[in-house]
Amino acid sequence: MAFVTRQLVRSMSSAAASASAKKITIKHVTVIGGGLMGAGIAQVAAATGHTVVLVDQTEDILAKSRKGIEDSLRKVAKKKFAENPKAADEFVAKTLSSISSSTDAAAVVHSTDLVVEAIVENLKVKKEFFQRLDKFAAEDTIFASNTSSLQITSIANATTRQDRFAGLHFFNPVPVMKLVEVIKTPMTSQKTFESLMDFSRNLGKHPVSCKDTPGFIVNRLLVPYLLEAVRLYERGDASKEDIDVAMKLGAGYPMGPFELLDYVGLDTTKFILDGWHEMDSKNPLFQPSPSLSKLVGEKKMGKKSGEGFYKYK
């Protein structure tokens, strides 16, 4: 009898161990930050059957995010249901009804499967944010940062859940760009990594992985290119308009580098560059740019603020 009980306990504990090693199916997502990226992530998650809570600092910002999501959904629906305007309206309404919002992250993370953070590109701010949230989120909840350039390990170390912490890097505009970079730190569990790879696929995206290195794959190549374009312009070698035309017509890029800088946000690009310069001040690719600093100093953040290298209506 004692043998049978021991066997039973052993098989029960191995079942529990394999259950805890199993991937999580992410159904409920909390997105922190309703700016360019957070709004897009919330939209795509809701449109693919997830329940979403979008968090930002004020109700005004959240109302603006919701309007942006609705406009973007209408573009998607127009294409997806070209022959059926009623189905398009239903898709927009159903997706919007899956997104609720809050200004209090701590109050809404008690039973979420995944927190995706898309707030300002600043290590101290991100660390403080996750350190606080760690106390309120459920044990199983996975934390992910959409950082463009910061080390995921440094952010994860602010929490007690390093095994349930990873990078989940989306691209702008999120509803259109198919890529997600999934970043596994040395502490991220395989279960967390696989749960996020599956989640990315469920969003209709193509996940790739990269070590926890500055800029991962895309930004390590893209940001130095963008800054080289600015230096070309700063030296007076060519106008920004000609550089943009050249890269579109000569290299097949959908946007020129100045159009893309404005689209990404000049503040975000400056945060990325400043962080890398601090890390490796001798690298010529990471040197500060006078024109970028000047525009950000004048609050010209690019398309989102109405002016950057170009002016927008």
Distance in Å from the first CA to the final CA of the chain: 80
> Toward ligand NAD, which CB reaches closer, 63 or 120?
120
Instruction: Give dist(CA 169, CA 214) in Å, integer.
Output: 12
Instruction: Give dist(CA 138, CA 36) in Å, integer.
Output: 27
Instruction: Give dist(CA 259, CA 276) in Å, integer.
Output: 22
Q: Is 172 in the site for ligand NAD (CB under 6 A)?
A: yes
Instruction: Give dist(CA 54, CA 28) in Å, integer.
Output: 11
When binding is defined by CB under 6 A, the residue of 65, 101, 141, 148 that contacts ligand CAA is 148
> Toward ligand NAD, which CB reaches closer, 146 or 189?
146
Q: Write each residue from 76 to 105 as x if it is in contact with ligand CAA (CB under 6 A), else as -, in one continuous string.
A: x--x--------------------------
When binding is defined by CB under 6 A, the residue of 265, 300, 303, 308 that contacts ligand NAD is 265
Active-site residue set = 148, 169, 181, 219
Q: Is 274 in the site for ligand NAD (CB under 6 A)?
A: no
Instruction: Give dist(CA 10, CA 28) in Å, integer.
Output: 33
Residues 173-232 that bind ligand CAA (CB under 6 A): 173, 175-177, 218-219, 222
Which partner, ligand CAA, ligand NAD, none, binds residue 255 by CB below 5 to 8 Å per kind? Answer: ligand CAA
CB 168 within 8 A of CB 116: yes
Task: Give the single-character DSSP code of 33.
Answer: -
Cα distances from 143 to residues 28, 65, 188, 212, in angstroms, run 13, 22, 10, 15
Q: Is 120 in the site for ligand NAD (CB under 6 A)?
A: yes
Is 265 part of any known ligand binding site? no
When binding is defined by CB under 6 A, the residue of 33, 215, 256, 308 that contacts ligand NAD is 33
Size of the site for ligand CAA (CB under 6 A): 18
Instruction: Give dist(CA 73, CA 92) in Å, integer.
Output: 6
DSSP letter string over 247-303? HHHHH--SS-HHHHHHHH-HHHHHHHHHHHHHH-TT-GGG---HHHHHHHHTT--BG
Residues 6+ apart with CB under 8 A from 123: 150, 151, 154, 155, 275
Q: Is 246 in the site for ligand CAA (CB under 6 A)?
A: no
Question: At its nearest, how many Å lie between ligand CAA and the CB of residue 274?
Answer: 14
Q: Where do contacts with ligand NAD occur on this chain (CB under 6 A)? A: 32-38, 55-57, 61, 118-121, 129, 146-148, 170-172, 264-265, 268, 304
Q: Where do contacts with ligand CAA occur on this chain (CB under 6 A)? A: 72, 75-76, 79, 148, 171-173, 175-177, 218-219, 222, 254-255, 260, 264
